[in-house]
Amino acid sequence: MPLTKIAEFDVKKLEILSPEGKADEKLMPRLSKKDIAEMYRLMVLSRAFDEKAIALQRQGRLGTYVPQLGQEASIIGPAYALSKKDWLVPSFRETGAMIAHGCSVEMMMRYWAGDERGSLMPKGARVLPVAIPVSTQLPHAAGIAWGMKKLKERSAVMAYFGDGGTSPGDFHEAMNLAGVFRLPVVFVCQNNHYAISLPVERQTASKTIAQKAIGYGIQGVQVDGNDIFAAYSAAKKALEDAKNGIPTLIECLTYRMGDHTTSDDSKRYRDEKEVKEWAKKDPVARLEKYMADRKMLNAALKEKIIKKCRAIIEKAVGDVESSPPDAEDIFRYTYAEMDESLKEQAEGFRRRV
């Protein structure tokens, strides 16, 4: 039997803001100067959170932490497109997105400190807790979207995951469910080129992550994930489409500048030249260039914003460390109500302490 050549899929890539800070005005989304300034502030806040969290972890004051460095645009851009009625379903690298969608800096610091209260969502905030197991949050996102569709609620769900998250069955099940039932959901894949130490070419044989959408009958788009305008614009359109029954998979091409987590050493599997090349595409630096060209940012204002963000982080750390968790919370927050088994475990714990 003769072999048939497999067609190559055409995937569009959206790019608006170049590494030099020059924007394609024809593609620019509708954003006010206030919006752009807030996007920048959230990116700087995310970077300041990283800086402090890593220092705390090295000092033994915080548990394992997952840095966002280098991926701020692909995290903040899509999250900024959400409305208050939309749901955010994060994985484990979306601290900035969770803050942007209603979670406090203190709450997120509590989470990384191992305090169960760090997973108690603020009243009215449509955000699920951090999901550490890879891709298990994706069926949850599809389920929420299905529920909203049945309730005829005009809102959407945005779920984040990494390129490594496309291997587990949960990813395929969620995508299939979204396609079959035309669910109001947007899948945001942060393709940072490494699933921990595994390079993306060993992770998938497809030319892009975005083209995986084709097999499930949903939209697929690739964006420059270090371009916050492209990430925001693609997400804004995808959220509107989702509310009209058209799900989308967005692949954000980005790069993890730091280690996978604070327990990783990326120097063991990455070439330093590669890291330096990606540093030239820094998402924060390119937005700063854009804003400086338009007289929206100067050295003094930049320093003021950085200091203010660091002060917010320091206050959160002080609040967290001055109010340590109750060790019994590990039993209280396993389920909505403690079952007999958990009550027995809690009692045993009390006797030991």
* Residues carrying an active site annotation: 256, 260, 269
Supply 118's token pair.
Answer: 């760090």
The DSSP 8-state label assigned to residue 128 in this structure reads P
> CB burial class (10 A; 0-12, 13-18, 19+) of residue 18?
middle
137-167: burial string, b at 16+ Cβ within 10 Å, e else: bbbbbbbbbbebbeeeeebbbbbbbbbbbbe
User: Of 281, 278, 223, nearest to 252 (Cα)?
Assistant: 223
Q: State how beta strands 185-191 and 194-195 pair.
A: unpaired
Supply 79's token pair.
Answer: 């999250």
- Distant-in-sequence, close-in-space partners of 251: CB < 8 Å, separation ≥ 6: 189, 191, 208, 209, 210, 220, 221, 222, 223, 225
Q: State how beta strands 157-162 and 248-253 pair.
A: unpaired
